[in-house]
Chains A and B, each alone.
Chain A
Amino acid sequence: MSTIIKFDIKELKKLANDKNSCIIEKKVTQNLALQPWCLGNLKESIKNLLDYKIGKFDKEFNGILLSYKNLRILQNVGTIRNDNADIHFQVQADYFIFRPYVGATLTGIVNKKSTTHLGILVHRVFNVVIPRPTEEPGNMWVGSNINEGQEVRFRIVVLDLYGALPYIRGELDQRCVKLGPDGDDDEEVEKKAAPALNVSYVDFDKTKPYTSKQIGDGLPHSTLKNTKLINSSKPQISSPGTVSDSHNQSVNGKSGFTKAKNADGEISVSEKKIKRQSKLLESEQKQLEAHSKPNKKHKRDVL
C-alpha cells in the first residue's frame, strides 16, 4: 500500500475528523531502537523505520498505521541499555491509524461484484468482503442490486488484521441500501467527497504482449484483444469489466445511456472533462439518470 496508494495529510485529516471512518489521529510518544549504523543519518533512519510500519498492523497502535506527521525526536542523545547494541530514542509523532472494530459502520466503494459476494474498497486501500448470505433462499439478496462503482454502507462483522492482508468481512446495512436516491442528501455529499475509484496505477494495456516489447510491428494477437482492454488509453477507471465497458459506451454515444446509468456511481476524470465540454449531453444524461443521486451530486461539484 505504501508504494501504490499514498495518502496526503489533508485527506487523512478529513477522514480523521469523520467519526464514521474508523480513522483516528493520535499523538504517540514511542521508544524506537536503532541499529548503530543508523546513526549516520538519524532522521532518515527513523523515517525508514516508521515507513516500514505503514500498512501493517501494529500492536502498539492496535490498528493499521496509515501515515504520520510532525515527526520529532525528543532526545539529542540516545540511550544504550544493558549490553544491547541498540540505541534507543524517544520519538513523537501524530499517527493516523485505521482502527476498525466489529460492529462499526463504514462506507466504501464496490469494486468487485460477483454472484456470491461483493468486494468493497474502503479508504481506497482496505478490501472488505460482503458475502451473500447462504441461508436465505432465492434471489432476495439486496447486494445483487448493487453495481460496481457504487458506494455502500456496511457493518463490520468479522475482523482479522493480523495477516499479511487485513481481512474484514461486512454485512450490508439493509436500511442504507433501501434508502435509495431520495434519502439523506447531505450525508451522500459528504461521502462523495472521496474521489471515485481509480486504478491509474495499473496499466492494463501493458499486460498484453504486443505493448510489452518495443518491437515496432506490434504483432496483433487477435485472441487477446478482448473488448475489456481496448479502452485503457484514456485515464482509466475501475477494473476493466462490465462497468468500464458501459462507461465507454456512454462516452461514445447516446445509445449506451441506458446501460451507462448503472455505472454512473463512479465518475472518471475523462468523463468529467467530457461533461464540461458538452452540456447538452449532460442534460440528457441527467434526465435519464434522475434516480441516481450520488452521481448528480458529483456533477454539481464538477460544474
Chain B
Amino acid sequence: MSGTPKSVASLMQKTLKRQSDLARMRLRFTKNQVEQILLSCVRNKNTGPYLELIKVLKEYPLNEDNFRIVFDDSLSCVVLLGREMTEYVNVVCNIEWLDRSEELVDLYRTFVLNLVTAHTYHCPVVMMRLVTLFKEDGENWEDRPPNELLVKWSHIHDIIGRIVAIMPMTSDLLMHIMIDQFPYYKAGCYINRAYIYNLIWMSKYLPSLREQVMTAVINKMISMDVNIAENEKTKSDTMFDMDVDCQDEVSITLDYCMLEVLKWLEDEREPIMNILCTVFERIILPTYSIRHVQFLLLYTISINQQCADRVLDNLWTIAAGLQGMGPGALTTRKTAASHLAGLLARCVRVPNTRLIKYLKSMAEWCHSYISATQESTAACDNTKAHGAFHAICHAIFYLVAFKHHLLFMNKENVNFVESLNLPRLVTCALNPLRTCPPQVTRAFSSITRSHQVVYCQGIIEKNARHTLQSTAVQQYDEWFPYDPYNLPISGKIIWPLCIDYKDWLKEGDDETQYSSMKRKLEEDDDYLVMASPTQRLATSLSHGISPGFRTSENIFI
C-alpha cells in the first residue's frame, strides 16, 4: 500500500502534464487578440491579460499560425511598445524564428526593423539577441559550413546589416556587443570558430568595422595562445612526449581560428593585410611568449612585399629605439628584436637583400653603441641598462647561426660577414655573449670558428667561470617567436612558408620543411622511424631541439 500515494502523485502529475500539452496544442491566438491585449494594457492599464500573454509566449513554442498572428499584431502596434513594454519586447525577440519558413523570417525581420526604428532604446536588446544566435551549438565543419547553417546566419547578418544601414549609430553598439558576447576561450572549438567566422563575415559587409573586428579576433586568439603556452610550461619536462593526439581543446580551437583568419587574409588580401600589420604592432608585438598568432604576420609578409617592408622597418625602428618619442620599453624592444630576427631567419619569402640590409644596419647600430659607451661603462655590467644592445646582438648571432648556409656560401658573402666586424661585438666590454641563450651561443661559435670569422671560445669559457662564481642562476631569454608552428590544420598553409633550421653538421639533408612535416603527419605513430640511430646522434650532437633552432622534426617527437 505504501506505493499508493506515490502513484497518485505521479498520476496527478501525468494528468497535469497532459493538460498542459493539450493546452499547448490548443493554444490559438485569434486575429488581433494580441493587439487588443497590448492596447488595453497601454490605454487602460489592464495588465492581467498582458502578463498572461508574456507567460504564454515564454513557455509555449508557437506554431506557424500563432507566430504569424503574434508578429502581425506586434507589428501593427509597434509604436506602443515603449519602455514600459520592455519585457514583452524581450520575450517576442526571443521567440525562435530562424528555423521557420522564408515568409515568417521576413515577418520577423520587418518587425525587428520597425521596432528598432520606432524605439531606439530597444536596440541593445535586439542586437544582443541577434548576436547570441551565433553562439548556438553545432558540429564543426571541414571546409566550409553546411549550407543550412549559412542560410540561417545570412538571415541574421541581413537583419544586422539593415539595422546598421538605417541607424548608423548602432555600429559602435554592435561592435561593443560582439566583443562582449565573445565565447569563453575554453567554451569549445565549434562555438569559437563559428563566432569568429561570423565576426569576419560581419566585417565584409561592414568594411569600416574591419579593424575593430581584427582587433577583437586577434585579442581572443592571443588569450588562447597564451593559455596553450602556459599549459606547455606546466608539463615542460614532458616536452619530448608531446604528441599530436594529446593536444588539448584550446589548441584545437586556436588551430581552427587560425584557419579562419588565414582564409580571411587570403580572401581579401590588401586591405586586411595592412590592418593586420597595424594590429600586430598594437597587440601582438607587446605580448610576450606566444607561439602561434604571430604566424599570421609571417603569412602576410610572405604574400605581400609591401607589408613585409613596412613590418620589418617598423620592427627595426622599435628595436633600435629610433622612433620619435623616447626609446620605448625595454621588453618591447627585445621582443621586436626577436621578431625581426625570427622573421628574417624563418620566412621563405624574405629576400636575401633584406637579410643583408638588416644585418648591416644592426651591426652598424651595435658598433656605434659600443663606441658611444666605451668610456662610461668600463666597470658597469648592468645588463638591464644595455638590454636593447644585448637583444640586437643576439639577433645578429642568431641570424648568422641560422643563415650560415647562405652567409658562408661564397667568397662574396663571407666578405660581407667579415665586414660586419663581429669580433668587436663579441669581445666588447658589454659582453653580449654572456646573456646570449646557450644554444645560440653554441651554434654561433661553432659556425664562426669553422669559417674562421670569430673565435668566441675564450669568452664563453670566461663567462662560464663567472657564472660558476655567482650563486644566482642565469636566466636566458629563450623565446623565439617563429619556432616551428605545431598546429596541424592551419599548419598546412603555414609550413610551406617557413624555413627549417639546417644544422651545418648535418649535411646533405635536402628535404624541405613542408615535405618532412607531411611525412611526419602520415607516419604519425611510427615513432621508431624517426628515432633512427643516425638521426638521434645528429640531434644529440647539434642540440637541434633547443629553442630557436627547433626543426619541424623534433616538434612532434
| Chain B residues in 8 Å Cβ range of A3 | 171-172, 175, 208-209, 212
B153 contacts chain A at the CB level, 8 A cutoff = yes
If the complex has contacts A117-B114, A212-B150, are A160 and B205 also in contact, measured as CB distance less than 8 A? no
Extra inter-chain contacts (15) besides given A116-B118, A131-B118, CB under 8 Å:
A4-B171, A114-B117, A116-B78, A117-B114, A160-B121, A163-B120, A165-B167, A202-B164, A204-B165, A205-B205, A212-B154, A213-B263, A214-B267, A221-B147, A239-B162
Chain A's nearest CB lies how many Å from the CB of B163?
A: 10
Check A166 against B157 for contact (C-beta < 8 Å): no
If the complex has contacts A116-B77, A167-B120, are A207 and B157 also in contact, measured as CB distance less than 8 A? yes
Q: Bound complex: CA of A4 vs CA of B143, how far in Å? A: 32
| Chain A residues in 8 Å Cβ range of B158 | 204, 207-208
Q: Which of B150-202 contact A (CB under 8 A)?
A: 150-151, 153-154, 157-158, 160-162, 164-173, 175, 201
Check B171 against A1 for contact (C-beta < 8 Å): yes
The one of A1, A205, A207, A209 that contacts B168, using a Cβ cutoff of 8 Å: A1
Number of A-B contacts (CB under 8 A): 152
- The range of chain A's interface size is 35 or more
Check A208 against B119 for contact (C-beta < 8 Å): no
A-B complex: 4 closest residue pairs judged by Cβ atoms: A209-B150, A119-B117, A206-B205, A207-B157
If the complex has contacts A116-B114, A239-B162, are A41 and B325 also in contact, measured as CB distance less than 8 A? yes
Check B168 against A4 for contact (C-beta < 8 Å): yes
Of A121-129, A249-257, A289-297, which stretch is located at the interface? A121-129
| Chain B residues in 8 Å Cβ range of A199 | 165
Check A203 against B114 for contact (C-beta < 8 Å): no
A246 contacts chain B at the CB level, 8 A cutoff = no
Check A127 against B166 for contact (C-beta < 8 Å): yes
Check B78 against A167 for contact (C-beta < 8 Å): no
If the complex has contacts A41-B325, A134-B79, are A1 and B201 also in contact, measured as CB distance less than 8 A? no
| Chain B residues in 8 Å Cβ range of A207 | 154, 157-158, 160-161, 205
Check A221 against B151 for contact (C-beta < 8 Å): yes
Check A116 against B79 for contact (C-beta < 8 Å): yes
What is the chain A residue whose CB lies nearest that of B324? A41
If the complex has contacts A116-B114, A207-B205, are A1 and B166 also in contact, measured as CB distance less than 8 A? no
Q: Bound complex: CA of A7 vs CA of B115, how far in Å? A: 28
Check A209 against B147 for contact (C-beta < 8 Å): yes
| Chain B residues in 8 Å Cβ range of A126 | 169
Check B206 against A201 for contact (C-beta < 8 Å): yes
The one of A164, A202, A221 that contacts B165, using a Cβ cutoff of 8 Å: A202
Check B120 against A165 for contact (C-beta < 8 Å): yes
Chain B's nearest CB lies how many Å from the CB of A240?
A: 8
Check A167 against B121 for contact (C-beta < 8 Å): yes
Check A219 against B147 for contact (C-beta < 8 Å): yes
If the complex has contacts A165-B169, A207-B154, are A214 and B263 also in contact, measured as CB distance less than 8 A? yes
Chain B's nearest CB lies how many Å from the CB of A129?
A: 5
Q: Bound complex: CA of A114 vs CA of B114, how far in Å? A: 7
Check B117 against A164 for contact (C-beta < 8 Å): no
| Chain A residues in 8 Å Cβ range of B169 | 1, 55, 125-127, 165-166
| Chain A residues in 8 Å Cβ range of B102 | 223
The one of B76, B168, B205 that contacts A203, using a Cβ cutoff of 8 Å: B205
Chain A's nearest CB lies how many Å from the CB of B205?
A: 4
| Chain A residues in 8 Å Cβ range of B326 | 40
Q: Bound complex: CA of A112 vs CA of B158, how far in Å? A: 16
Q: Bound complex: CA of A221 vs CA of B145, how far in Å? A: 14
Chain A's nearest CB lies how many Å from the CB of B314?
A: 16
Q: Bound complex: CA of A212 vs CA of B197, how far in Å? A: 10
Q: Bound complex: CA of A208 vs CA of B201, how far in Å? A: 9
Chain B's nearest CB lies how many Å from the CB of A91?
A: 19
Chain B's nearest CB lies how many Å from the CB of A242?
A: 12
**Which one of B75, B118, B164 has the highest number of Cβ atoms from chain A below 10 Å of its Cβ?**
B118
If the complex has contacts A114-B114, A160-B121, A239-B165, are A4 and B78 also in contact, measured as CB distance less than 8 A? no
If the complex has contacts A202-B161, A204-B161, are A127 and B154 also in contact, measured as CB distance less than 8 A? no
Check A114 against B78 for contact (C-beta < 8 Å): yes
What is the chain A residue whose CB lies nearest that of B268? A214
